[in-house]
Amino acid sequence: MKNPKLKFIILSIFSVLFYSALILISDVEKFSHVWSVIILEYIPIILGLHLFAHVIRVFRQKLFFKKLDISLSFRNNFLLYFSGASLIMTPGGVGELLKSYLLKTNYGHSISKTSSVILAEKYHNILSSVSLILILLLIQSIFEVLILTLILGVIILMAYIAVKKINIFLSLISKLPKKWILTPLIDNSPTFCNSLNSLFHNRVFFTGLLFGISASLLDGLAFFIGFLAFGLDTSFIESATFAMSSLTLGSLSFLPAGIGVTEISLLGFLTNHGVFLATASALILFIRLSTSWYTTIIGIISLKIFLRTKTNIQS
């Protein structure tokens, strides 16, 4: 990656400008008032739920690695997972491929093999969110969320078919630009495709889905408590589906952290359901801080620990 620090600075400046504009549109005084009445006691619970959700995904990552005959201790698997999260705010989250680079330099595993785990994780994150949203919508129908979720479902299905059809997937891989960590992946695309295909076998696939839905359920509960912290009288289904569908849409936009797409879509959901603009803007900023930025901070700390520790593969 060329000039990663510069890209991070540019993203940070853009984020500040974007949220500054959102605050100004919302009315600074009203926005500040919303923050002044937030129920602070809920914040540790929210952060704890999001962290626990990631721990579940750590176990899912270990499952995927085991399928590819890659064995890591829980500690190293935990640090590796969050090390990738340090670059979660890159376009499309492609920075998470840092995990493959670390596995290559520390354990000798090929990037073309291990990168399939990162892609499988991203697929499962979207699949589990959409699956949980659909389950919740069976209980309480929300038309605009349902339409968006069905569209996302079609995209997920098409991706599944592409992975299962090796020739189609090889063709798609060949069209990727040979940049940074993508170069060895493209040069060894048969290894990558075969590894990814093995992660889509029934037992591993559905076990991974179970892990993913469990994690998404915890995230959904955190979003619900976040709504309560801002004094919003919404149901668990509304809060969870609004937040998860917007974040999922943002992740598919391939913009850094989905910035702009996530906020605008969630702002639309909230204001259409009677939430004042200032409250909606404050809540959106809080969700961003408690998800993307919170995870990034943990990731940076984990990466520093991982780089300072000489690790060995453990059974």
Output the furthest CA–CA distance in the chain (Å, rounded): 57
pLDDT in the model for residue 3:
52
Distance (Å, rounded) from C-alpha 18 to C-alpha 212? 31
315, part of any domain? no
Distance (Å, rounded) from C-alpha 8 to C-alpha 53? 26
DSSP type of residue 274: T
290, part of any domain? yes
Phi (first) and psi of residue 91, to 5 degrees: -55, 120
**pTM for this model (two decimals):** 0.87
Helices (runs of H) and strands (runs of E) counted in the chain: 15, 0
DSSP type of residue 91: B
Per-residue pLDDT of 151-205, as tens digits, reads: 999 999 988 888 877 666 666 666 665 554 555 555 566 777 888 889 998 899 9
Contact 211, 60 (CB under 8 A): yes
**What average pLDDT does the segment 45-59 reach?**
97
DSSP type of residue 97: G
Contact 291, 246 (CB under 8 A): no
16, part of any domain? no
The H-assigned helical ranges of 199-235 are: 202-229
Domain that holds residue 151: 38-308
pLDDT in the model for residue 38:
94
Per-residue pLDDT of 70-84, as tens digits, reads: 989 999 999 999 998
71: left (phi > 0), else alpha (psi -120 to 50), else beta?
Answer: beta
20, part of any domain? no
313, part of any domain? no
Least confident of 51-55, 144-148, 206-210: 144-148
93, part of any domain? yes
Per-residue pLDDT of 92-123, as tens digits, reads: 666 688 898 899 888 888 888 888 899 899 99
Name the domain count of the chain.
1
- Structure tokens of 3? 């000039």
202, part of any domain? yes
32, part of any domain? no
- Structure tokens of 75? 């500690």
